Amino acid sequence: MSVATWRGSCAAAFARVTSASLGPYQTAAIRIGLSFTWLFFLVREWFNSQELYGPDAPWSWELARRLIADNHAFTVLVWSGAGWWFKLVYLFAMVSALLFMLGWRTRTTSVLYMIGVLSLQNRSVFVGDGGDNVLHLMAIYTVFTRCGEVWSLDARRAARRGAAARRGAAGRGAEGRSAAARGAAGDPRRDVTGIVLWAVCGAGLLAATLLADPALTWTDHGPVPGVGWAAALWAVWLLHGVWWLVRVRGAALAGGQVRAVLAAFGHLLHNAALLVIMGEVCLIYGAAGWYKIQGSLWQDGTALYYPLHLDYFSPWPALSHALAASGVVVLLLSYGTVAAQAAFPFTLLNRRVKNVLLVLMMFEHLGIAVLLGLPFFSLVMIFVDAVFLPTSWLRRGGELVAGRARWVAERVPVGVPGQRGVGGADADAGANAGTGAASDAGPDPGRGPGRDRVRAG
């Protein structure tokens, strides 16, 4: 390869990652799946929440404060040991998970969702499992992604706004087309909800910075080395405000260059976070597979025999014992698990092999959910696996779900006789919102046609 060709390839790759947010369907699947799993877990454990994370937990509030003082993990639950504070934080985690799952103001709710996850999990670190660790990491990674561009209320709002602007501009020539473009992008000065939400979050962050005990740090013990949680959260809050200002005054700032630079930076940050998520999944499976190879029980093919006989991991004892009674089945499942996990990172080199193995691993996690009684762990792993699913599969699945939802909505009666159901005009305007871009800040002018594909998919 000549130097000129190599430079051209690098320039094309750089242009690709700075002009479009890749994998919008993959990141949306992660957003919906993980937030649903977390919300499902919180609802299921509502009556046990006091013993898991609250004042009645075996790991007491004082012990939690002493551990936090040592490992400097982030959690707002150690700010107060009162029961009302715990309930408030628990409800906050549930509401933020619901809003994040629905894709409402995803740039803001992604941060609130992360705060809820970290606060509860870091309060009682000894009640979690591997699925909680993955959920913990993904909650941080998704903050840096544009996971609300499809399958979200943000996307639906952008699609309806764009459709209304195009209808209003029909037949008005160049002036009408310009108005349609402004309407599709949305006027940030009229986004009262976004402005109020930004102000409320700023007020809450200011109160936390001034009153929290232990205090939020600025230069250490944060999400990255050298950056404290106070600096990170204030930076996110300020960036949201700067982006709103650029959208308002974008044309007057260096001829729109400032907005173009910020849009390119946003694409680059999203794609970097997506790459980190993919690498994390490969690391999880690769490490699990190669560590299993070193175990004697996995080497002789008997490893799965023992957990199938543990009462704690046997929600269906008869089924577990029936499988464990067959030495051939145990041998095949043990060796198959090791082979699939160890080989998974290498299958990314071949798309067809990767897709087949991905489906097999999802069925493996379904088996873990049923046989070992670990549904939340299995759901987390299935949804993070979705980052490698082909875009065509995800879009087809989304179209099936949307079509079914419209079919149900059109049969829901409404109060006005002769009027269409709730799946009428509003549903038609937002049914295909998955093909448009949306977020708190509206559509991004830097998006390109390559946004619907992930290289590994």
Question: Is residue 239 domain-shared with residue 139, that is, in the same domain?
Answer: no
Residue 166 is encoded by which pair of tokens?
A: 């195009």
Amino acid at 336: G
Q: Is 40 within 8 Å of 380 (Cβ atoms)?
A: no
Q: Which pLDDT belongs to residue 186?
A: 62
Question: Is residue 158 domain-shared with residue 23, that is, in the same domain?
Answer: yes
Domain presence at residue 311: no
Question: Is residue 16 domain-shared with residue 159, that is, in the same domain?
Answer: yes
Q: Is 235 within 8 Å of 216 (Cβ atoms)?
A: no
Domain presence at residue 376: no
Question: Is residue 132 domain-shared with residue 195, that is, in the same domain?
Answer: no
**Residue with tokens 């704690």, as numbered in its chain:** 312
Q: Report the number of distinct structural domains present in the chain.
A: 3
Question: Is residue 57 domain-shared with residue 102, that is, in the same domain?
Answer: yes
Q: Which of 105, 102, 70 is nearest to 196 (CA)?
A: 105
pLDDT-derived band at 428 (thresholds 50, 70, 90) equals very low
Could you list the residue range(s) of the whole structural domain that residue 200 is in? 191-252
Domain presence at residue 310: no
Q: Which pLDDT belongs to residue 451?
A: 41
Mean pLDDT of the chain: 86
Domain end, chosen from 148, 163, 178, is at 163
- Please give the helix or strand (H or E) that residue 225 lies within, else none: none
With a cut of 70, say whether residue 437 has pLDDT above it: no
Q: Which residue has the higher pLDDT, 128 or 33?
A: 33
Give the whole-angstrom CA distance, residue 97 versus residue 350: 35
Tell me what percent of the residues of the chain surpass a pLDDT of 90. Answer: 65
With a cut of 70, say whether residue 20 has pLDDT above it: yes
Q: What average pLDDT score do residues 55-76 get?
A: 93
Signed CA dihedral, 128, 90, 80, 215: sign only: positive
Question: Is residue 128 domain-shared with residue 28, that is, in the same domain?
Answer: yes
Enumerate the β-bridge partners of residue 224.
227
Amino acid at 451: R
Question: Is residue 22 domain-shared with residue 97, that is, in the same domain?
Answer: yes
Q: Which pLDDT belongs to residue 173?
A: 55
Q: Is 444 within 8 Å of 437 (Cβ atoms)?
A: yes
Q: What average pLDDT score do residues 412-418 get?
A: 58
Q: Which residue has the higher pLDDT, 259 or 396?
A: 396
Q: What average pLDDT score do residues 56-69 get?
A: 93
pLDDT-derived band at 405 (thresholds 50, 70, 90) equals confident
Domain end, chosen from 252, 267, 295, is at 252
Q: Which pLDDT belongs to residue 251?
A: 63
Helix (H, G, I), strand (E, B) or coil at 384: helix
With a cut of 70, say whether residue 431 has pLDDT above it: no
Q: What average pLDDT score do residues 204-217 get?
A: 93
pLDDT, one tens digit per residue, over 138-147 is: 999 999 999 9
Give the whole-angstrom CA distance, residue 406 versus residue 357: 33
pLDDT, one tens digit per residue, over 331-384 is: 999 999 999 999 999 999 999 999 999 999 999 999 999 999 999 999 999 999
Domain presence at residue 385: no
Instruction: Supply the angle between the helices 391-409 and 24-44 in degrees, to the nearest 10.
Output: 60
Q: Is 430 within 8 Å of 417 (Cβ atoms)?
A: no
Question: Is residue 23 domain-shared with residue 153, that is, in the same domain?
Answer: yes
Domain presence at residue 393: no
Q: Kindly report each contact of residues 216-224 with a partner whose C-beta sits within 8 Å and lies 24 or more positions away, as own/partner.
A: 217/72, 220/72, 221/72, 222/74, 223/74, 223/140
With a cut of 60, say whether residue 449 has pLDDT above it: no
Cα-based angle 422, 423, 427 (whole degrees, multiple of 5): 115
Question: Is residue 157 domain-shared with residue 208, that is, in the same domain?
Answer: no
How much is the pTM? 0.87
In 10 A of CB 145, how many CB atoms?
28
Q: Which pLDDT belongs to residue 5?
A: 83
Residue 323 is encoded by which pair of tokens?
A: 């499988």
pLDDT-derived band at 414 (thresholds 50, 70, 90) equals low
In terms of Cβ atoms closer than 10 Å to its own Cβ (0-12, 13-18, 19+), residue 166 is: middle
Question: Is residue 226 domain-shared with residue 137, that is, in the same domain?
Answer: no
pLDDT-derived band at 171 (thresholds 50, 70, 90) equals low
The mean-pLDDT minimum among 6-15, 32-41, 82-91, 289-298 falls in 6-15
The mean-pLDDT minimum among 65-74, 207-216, 266-275, 414-423 falls in 414-423
Domain end, chosen from 252, 285, 301, is at 252
Residue 351 is encoded by which pair of tokens?
A: 């798309």
**How far is C-alpha 162 from the chain's CA centre?**
26
Domain presence at residue 380: no
Domain presence at residue 384: no
Q: What average pLDDT score do residues 31-42 get?
A: 97
Q: Is 391 within 8 Å of 454 (Cβ atoms)?
A: yes
Question: Is residue 46 domain-shared with residue 136, that is, in the same domain?
Answer: yes
Q: Which pLDDT belongs to residue 121?
A: 96
Domain presence at residue 17: yes
The mean-pLDDT minimum among 168-177, 253-262, 342-351, 442-451 falls in 442-451
Helix (H, G, I), strand (E, B) or coil at 227: strand
pLDDT, one tens digit per residue, over 271-294 is: 999 999 999 999 999 999 999 999
Question: Is residue 154 domain-shared with residue 211, that is, in the same domain?
Answer: no
With a cut of 80, say whether residue 198 has pLDDT above it: yes
Give the whole-angstrom CA distance, residue 32 versus residue 304: 32
Q: Which residue has the higher pLDDT, 435 or 410?
A: 410
